[in-house]
Amino acid sequence: MAGDSRETRKFNTRTLIHNWAEDRDMQRTLMKELVSRKITGTLKLDSFQQKMASLLEEVSMTTASKDGNVHYGDVVQVVHIDTGNVLATDVCLQGGAHVFSATAAPDVRAPVVRNTFLLVKYHAPRTAPLEASNDNSNTVCYGQKLRLAAHPSATNQEPTAYGGACPLCLFSKPQSLDHYAKYSRQQLVGLCKGDTYDSVWQVLTPDPALRSLSEGVEVMAGAPVVFLHCGTQKALVIEAQKYPTDFGIELELSARPAINRGTKNGLEQASMCSGSPYFFVQGILKSFIPKGELSDAHWTFVTGDSVGTFATPTVDTSEADAALQGLLSELSPGGIAALTTKLVTLGNADFQLPYDELPLLLRQVGCSLADQAMYALAGHFKVVGKRNVMDAHGLIAAIRLGKC
């Protein structure tokens, strides 16, 4: 209007309003950070692609001998008999730490890093002198205890016969408020670093009536077996619950009693023995035989055709052995137990401890070794790739075994 005296302000597309300078600086900062992460390979997409490439890399399954048996150090696949699913591992990042899960993956055409495992021999500790030892045998037998270690390439470690410098082993823990299966709520089964007793499994035959007779018999490749967790006496079971991973939908694993709790088996035994003159004796004998696990707990080993094993690392352990023997001779059983507790509680999530803390711990439990011997003991269990950091679990295992 011609008579309107109000001033009218006009803005065009080049006019900058609000916090335009701050917004421009923020966009430039985000772009610089994106380019920097792209150059260094720290983007989430890059880490995902690297994980998929490393875990899906094809490997060759090897065996120590072509005698048809399963041996320690063999690279094998653990296959569920009924479903044909393969025991597999997955690595994901949660809360800034790597979490390793174990699932039953559908069958694939070729063995890869994530679904192949190493059979690692279990050494009984010094505190269990009556436990049977399998140090002289290289063949897996029924009734023996072993560890199932993931392929060392899954954690970017140098392949060795022990599963790497810090093997990633299949473990299970008692069911509690903190440890349970994610979907079935049964006893947790996963993968962890270290060689605790939670990662020890016993190989048994599915028929409980033949377990006492089959002890010491070699396990043949393809024969059905049951993996019994030594700490909780529960079998490794495949569940019906689906477990989503980066590789697709897989099945969850747990450890639980896989037996039929009904009375059908008992009634059948009673009917079979009712007409026999030895009913009382036969009934007692049959009632003492435990029920066998269902097919959910039946697994088998699949081995390869090529003969070969990973190299066994050889290091000079004379100085560390002398320090360990001096440590064991000075400390009482109570002092050794206190030292083991301190190593477990003061170590980080990966059971790692700085060099300088070991002499302090040894002095606290009453050890009078020289500082040079203590540092030699710490250096023997040095963590590869880290400076002045030792593996506390390795020292605990050496204390239990009595040698480095």
Strands 201-204 and 224-229: antiparallel
Residues 172, 176, 180, 184, CA torsion sign? positive
Rg, the chain, Cα only? 29
CA distance 371 to 260: 59
Assign 155 to helix, strand or coil.
Answer: helix
| 118-140 b/e (C-beta count within 10 Å ≥ 16 → b) | bbbbbbbeeeeeeeeebeeeebb
With 0-12 / 13-18 / 19 or more C-beta atoms within 10 angstroms meaning exposed / middle / buried, residue 183 is: middle
At residue 337, does pLDDT exceed 80?
A: yes
For residue 210, how many other CB atoms are within 10 A of its CB?
Answer: 14
Q: How long, in residues, is the chain?
A: 404
pLDDT at 318: 74
Average pLDDT over residues 301-308: 82
- Confidence grade of residue 280 (pLDDT, cut at 50, 70, 90): very low
Report which of residues 285 and 36 the model is more confident about: 36
Q: Report d(CA 85, CA 77) in Å as an integer.
A: 10
pLDDT band at residue 266, thresholds of 50, 70 and 90?
Answer: low
**CA 232 from centre of chain:** 16
Can you tell me which residue has the tokens 């069911």? 175
Predicted pLDDT of residue 179: 86
Cα(199)–Cα(230) distance, integer angstroms:
8
- Local confidence band at 294 (pLDDT 50, 70, 90 cut-offs): confident
- Per mean pLDDT, which of 62-66, 210-214, 317-321 is the most reliable? 210-214
User: Which range is least confidently modeled, 5-14, 114-123, 378-387?
Assistant: 5-14
Q: What is the mean pLDDT of residues 142-156?
A: 89
Beta strands per DSSP E along 194-314 = 201-204, 224-229, 235-245, 248-256, 299-302, 306-307
How much is the average pLDDT of 106-115? Answer: 83
* Distance separating alpha carbons of residues 231 and 243, to the nearest angstrom: 25
CB 286 within 8 A of CB 45: no
Give the pLDDT confidence score for residue 203 in this predicted structure.
95
Q: Which residues contact 80 (CB under 8 A, 6 or more apart)?
A: 86, 87, 104, 238, 298, 299
Compute the average pLDDT of residues 90-117. 78
Helix (H) or strand (E) holding 92: strand 86-94
Q: Is the pLDDT of residue 39 over 50?
A: yes
d(CA 342, CA 352): 12
Nearest to 297 by CA among 105, 78, 151: 78
pLDDT for 52: 82
CA-to-CA separations, 343 to 122, 184, 323, 347, 355, in angstroms, rounded = 21, 33, 17, 6, 12
Q: Which pLDDT belongs to residue 386?
A: 66
Mean pLDDT check: name the lowest of 61-65, 137-141, 171-175, 313-317.
313-317
pLDDT category of residue 242 using cuts at 50, 70 and 90 = very high
**Band (92; pLDDT cuts 50, 70, 90):** confident
User: What's the confidence (pLDDT) of residue 23?
Assistant: 82
| Model confidence at 347: pLDDT above 50 | yes
* DSSP string for residues in 359-385: HHHHHHTT----HHHHHHHHHHTBPTT
pLDDT of residue 283: 44
DSSP E strands in 106-180: the ranges are 117-121, 145-150, 168-172
Distance CA 257, CA 203 (A): 15
- Does 205 or 161 have the greater pLDDT score? 205
More confident residue, 276 or 245: 245
Q: pLDDT above 70 covers what percent of the chain?
A: 79
Identify the three-state secondary structure at position 179.
Answer: coil
Percent of the chain with pLDDT over 90: 24
CA–CA dist 186, 255 (Å, integer):
7
Lowest mean pLDDT among 31-40, 60-69, 244-253, 285-294: 285-294
Residue 109 has pLDDT above 70, yes or no: no
Confidence at residue 281, expressed as pLDDT on a 0 to 100 scale: 40
- Beta strands at 201-204 and 145-150: parallel, antiparallel or unpaired: antiparallel
What band does 86 get if pLDDT is binned at 50, 70 and 90? very high
